[in-house]
């Protein structure tokens, strides 16, 4: 085995990386990222990513000049003790990073509504007709505290690709609610994490689990920070533009999820006890 590739590892998958050696299977590979499902209790998925790839919360980011070999789906390797080994390739943790994690803040309802309006004008609804038919009832159910499982079931796995559009929308909504409507976020998080494993791709299910914990990609955190900070239409457009540039249509799905989340949050009364516009996005 050659010299290991040095990677910056997400602390969100620390337990799997520093734990005992476990089997891990390549479940997906794009040009810039390889996903491995670890055989552990929490179905951890890790992503070995080029520095230019979207920085998902489970990413092990390669150095700027590294070109890692492509790995075929189905290849089995090991993960543990700070090392990922697949065939003749090894990745060693050289440092740790913490993915952006939203925490609950009180979103001024006026700001949330203004952001909802501004963002609605910026992106076409990426869902298909059936997805759209599920989105409305989902917002309704979250707003009044009704069961969300039926709507979630219709959105999970809807669309094609590594992260189907329906999942992107749910992920955007989950993180937005975690920030602005934590009480509505909880039932959605439970419904999504319960059903995701069976209803969508392994990668998408893993990313939804991160979203349920408020962990997200930097571009989504940036948009939510712009919303919380009461940025004007231009500021929101710039932040949304950065998110829209993510993936083929993942960004559009996430922005649409944010719009749904804002629709829910701007109707809900502010949770008692919290006050002020605290810092929204943490790195832990």
Partner 1 sequence: MTTQVKRLLAGEPRTVTVGAQLLADALADQAAPHLNVEWRPPADDLLPALRRVAGDPRRASANALAAERMLAAGAQLVDVRRASDVIGLERGQFCHAGPPVDWARASGPLRGALIGAMLLEGLADDPDDAARRLATDTGIALAPCHDRGGVAPMAGVVSPSMWLFVLRDEVHDRTSWCPLNEGLGRVLRYGAYAPDVLERLRWMGDVLGPALAAALAAHGPIDVKGLVGQMVQMGDEGHNRNRAGTLMLLRDLLPDLAEDTARSGAEVARVARFVGGNDHFFLNLVMPAAKLQAAAAGDIPGCTVVTAMARNGTEFGIQTSGTGRRWFTGPAAVPEGLYIGGYGPDDANPDIGDSAITETVGLGGFAMAGAPAIVRFVGGTVSDAIRTTREMYEITVAENPAYALPALDFRGVPTGIDVTAVIRTGILPQINTGIAGRVPGTGQVGAGLVQPPMFCFVGALDALAEAAPAV
Partner 2 sequence: MSARHVAVRAGAYRDSIRLMQISRMVSDLPGVSSALVAMATELNVDQAIQMGYAVPPGAGGNDLLIGVTVDEAGALPAVLERLDAELSRAPAPATTADGGQDTAPRTVAAAAKRFGATLALVSTPGRYAFVEAMDALDAGVSVLVFSDNVPLAEEVRLKRVADERGLLVMGPDCGTAIIAGVGLGFANVVRPGPVGVVAASGTGAQQVMSLLSVAGVGISHCLGVGGRDLSAAVAGASALTALRALDDDPATELVLVVGKAPEPAVADRVRSETATMHTPALIVPVGPGQPDLTAGVENALRALDRAVPDPWPRWLPEREFSSAAGALRGLFSGGSLCLEALAIAEPTLGQVRSNIAADPRLRLDPSEPPAGHAMFDLGDDRLTLGRPHPMIDIGPRLARIAAEAADPVCRVILLDVVLGHGAHPDPAAELAPAIADALAVRNDLAVVCSLVGTADDPQDVDRQAGALRSAGAAVFASNAEATRYAVRLVAA
Using CB under 8 A, list all residues that contact partner 2.
8, 11, 14, 82, 93-98, 103, 117-118, 120-125, 233-234, 236-238, 241, 279, 281-284
Nearer to partner 2, 129 or 198 (CB): 129
Instruction: Assess contact for 182 and 21: CB atoms under 8 A.
Output: no
Nearer to partner 2, 109 or 241 (CB): 241
* 14 touches, from partner 2, partner 1, none (C-beta below 5 to 8 Å by class): partner 2
In degrees rounded to 5, what are phi and psi of residue 2?
-75, -175
Q: Exposed e or buried b for every residue in 47-75, given b needs 16+ CB within 10 A?
A: bbbbeebbbbbbbbbbeeeeebeebeeeb
| C-alpha to C-alpha distance for 77 and 84, rounded to whole angstroms | 7
The nearest distance, CB 118 to partner 2, in angstroms, is 6
Taking CB under 8 A as the criterion, the residue among 1, 2, 41, 64 binding partner 1 is 64
Taking CB under 8 A as the criterion, the residue among 20, 21, 42, 63 binding partner 1 is 63
* 160 touches, from partner 2, partner 1, none (C-beta below 5 to 8 Å by class): none
The nearest distance, CB 238 to partner 1, in angstroms, is 15
Instruction: Assess contact for 174 and 224: CB atoms under 8 A.
Output: no
Q: State yes or no: residue 97 binds partner 1 (CB under 8 A).
A: yes
Q: Which stretch binds partner 1 (CB under 8 A): 3-11, 78-86, 134-142, 240-248?
A: 3-11
Instruction: Assess contact for 166 and 158: CB atoms under 8 A.
Output: yes
Q: Among residue numbers 133 through 162, which ones bind partner 1 (CB under 8 A)?
A: none
Nearer to partner 2, 117 or 193 (CB): 117
Taking CB under 8 A as the criterion, the residue among 46, 53, 62, 260 binding partner 1 is 62
Binding site for partner 1 (CB under 8 A): 5-8, 51, 61-66, 94-95, 97, 218, 283
């Amino acid at each position: 085995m050659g010299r290991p590739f040095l990677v910056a590892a997400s602390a969100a998958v620390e337990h799997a990386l520093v734990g005992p050696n476990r089997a891990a299977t390549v479940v997906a590979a794009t040009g810039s990222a390889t996903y491995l499902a670890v055989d552990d209790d929490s179905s951890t998925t890790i992503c070995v990513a080029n520095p230019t790839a979207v920085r998902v919360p489970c990413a092990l980011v390669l150095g700027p000049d590294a070109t890692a070999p492509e790995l075929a789906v189905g290849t089995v390797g090991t993960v543990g003790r700070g090392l990922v080994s697949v065939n003749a390739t090894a990745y060693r943790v050289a440092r740790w990073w913490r993915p952006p994690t939203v925490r609950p803040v009180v979103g001024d309802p006026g700001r949330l509504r203004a952001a909802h309006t501004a963002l609605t004008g910026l992106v076409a609804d990426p869902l298909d007709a059936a997805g759209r038919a599920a989105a409305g009832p989902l917002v309704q159910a979250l707003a009044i505290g009704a069961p969300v499982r039926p709507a979630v079931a219709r959105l999970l796995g809807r669309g094609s690709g590594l992260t189907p559009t329906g999942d992107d929308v749910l992920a955007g909504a989950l993180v937005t609610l975690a920030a602005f409507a934590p009480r509505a976020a909880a039932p959605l998080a439970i419904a999504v994490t319960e059903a995701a494993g069976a209803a969508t791709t392994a990668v998408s299910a893993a990313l939804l689990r991160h979203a349920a914990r408020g962990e997200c990609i930097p571009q989504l955190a940036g948009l939510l920070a712009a919303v919380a900070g009461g940025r004007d239409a231009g500021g929101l457009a710039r932040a949304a533009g950065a998110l829209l540039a993510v993936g083929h249509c993942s960004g559009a799905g996430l922005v649409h999820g944010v719009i749904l989340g804002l629709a829910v949050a701007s109707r809900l009364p502010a949770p008692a006890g919290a006050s002020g516009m605290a810092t929204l996005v943490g790195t832990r």
